Structure 1
């Protein structure tokens, strides 16, 4: 790229999910509905955990943190897209774009860590039930959350600072509805080798270590469950892990889909679909996955509804 085309930019253009004006009202209504369902569903989980003393356990403590993180992750991307559709303005300032990159990476990374922490919690509960309350004490649980938050913030800050070193040219159109790191790097007209190398190394490390922990935890869990003599005990153990495994599969499957599509398939449409799945759809489905088969959560919801419906 010739140096004459390089310029100091103040904003990017978010192309959104479709260029067809006729589809914009449908996209607006669909994503507004998904956003409201995500926020309300995850808020209900947080409210249920806080209001029911029977849910004051490490498993539900981590679940409420995951729900809060899901709300934050979705709020980082969807409201801006809705505003752009409503105002018919596709621009996002350079500062806002960097902020969005930082927040998406932070909350996405934290979700990654929380899923690993929840897998470890299930491992201790099933493999060491008599020592569960001793190992998973409140101080240790808070330490795990603080460690997850601090490492996620450091990871996202590093990548955001790496973007600051890039220079951009006149082609500043982002083929997505939010500022996604890999696509921003593609738009740069300066040397991006170091950025790409660090993205792949740190992403592999930061996603690989928690994923390895999840796989190791469930390997031990399955081994422990198979040794149980009671069929009822086996079913109960599997049922407590089923929801978490579903969320893990959905999150990692769609997350890897984004990076594979960016690296291998030069298809903006497929990349946008994958981005929607891991940054919007997963967060919307999590409350349903965790509550539909969870008797304790259903009971807490019924208690909340009963208190709201009962006369003063």
Structure 2
């Protein structure tokens, strides 16, 4: 069963994580290390400073880049981003991921990044059925790469990427589950895995704070903006890269969130359903970083 009619964008990534989903503490460590030494990832002592093996050092770098916490400014030099500083610096808002809102934001950044996390992006944006097998997913990714004229990926590469994707959202099966080995995103309960199938948990997500949904909506609006001050609700619910898609929301719970926007933004962004046209009006648009700052300040 084909699940998309248009191929993935030509730029994609199935490697870099060294088969490790990010672990608790990794993002804070990565941001702090770059803050102390912009060239840390090119140095042998990264192993000592980060306290992990060589391939995990590469994995930490991958996840910090993928999530937009650090940026590569060339020749093995990195710098922290405003998002990395806001959340993960030593005086950051949530360096140890104690706030569920941060976890949802990381999921948003991960699953919206087709260039570095193609499997994550593909599953959230293209799969419409409730469950699928890893084999079917592998075959579909191969097909998508071929259709976009990309370089063929080996079965092994795709299989380990799919495994890493699944382990981002589910606890490791083998042995005693050590929380330190789990990816913090397991807490989001986005995905279930049984012996044969992966099941997506689509529906209401009561744990997504409205501010986080708003920040995602603003990024989606900026990305798709054609100069208009409106966005059809249909696009927010179903379009590729939309909050409805990436947060796996059903239509009703997504609309309920849109209806709360006016109060949340003091009328700057409002949902309007008059004349049978469901749309969101953007009178004034804060940046996602401003919204995230406001979200963290609320709890002070």
Fold match, TM over 0.5? Answer: no
Between structures 1 and 2, the one with greater strand share: 2
TM-score, normalised by the number of residues in structure 1: 0.28
Rg larger in 1 or in 2? 1
